[in-house]
């Protein structure tokens, strides 16, 4: 995946019914936890298509996080004292 593909990648994930959010400034998640088991099974081919179409994206982690934050798709986390 290239940086120019980030918005299309996010849109593709959202369009199949998966929620995608940056978690603080350290990562992002997308999932289907709020879908029924039948809906989850139904989107497996679409998730596979997204993975095949957009390919490797680990090298764009910071850019994906920044994009998600810029469109309001983020969850802020508070550091926990004593946790390293």
In tens digits, the chain (84 residues) has pLDDT values of: 999 999 999 999 999 988 899 999 999 998 776 788 898 888 889 999 999 999 999 999 999 999 999 999 999 987 766 655
Nearest to 3 by CA among 77, 62, 80: 62
The two three-digit tokens of residue 65, written as one number: 């996080």
30's torsion region: left (phi>0), alpha (psi -120 to 50) or beta? beta
Q: Which segments of 1-84 does DSSP mark as H helices, in order?
A: 6-15, 37-54, 61-70
Tell if the pTM clears 0.75, that is, is over it: yes
The two three-digit tokens of residue 73, written as one number: 């798709």
Contacts of 38 (CB under 8 A, 6+ apart): none
The two three-digit tokens of residue 60, written as one number: 């764009």
């Amino acid at each position: 995946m290239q940086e120019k593909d980030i918005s299309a990648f996010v849109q593709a994930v959202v369009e199949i019914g998966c929620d995608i959010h940056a978690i603080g400034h350290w990562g992002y998640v997308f999932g289907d936890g709020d879908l029924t088991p039948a809906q989850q099974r139904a989107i497996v081919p679409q998730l596979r298509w997204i993975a095949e179409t957009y390919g490797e994206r680990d090298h764009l982690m910071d850019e994906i996080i920044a994009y998600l934050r810029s469109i309001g798709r983020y969850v802020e986390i508070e550091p926990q004292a004593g946790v390293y």
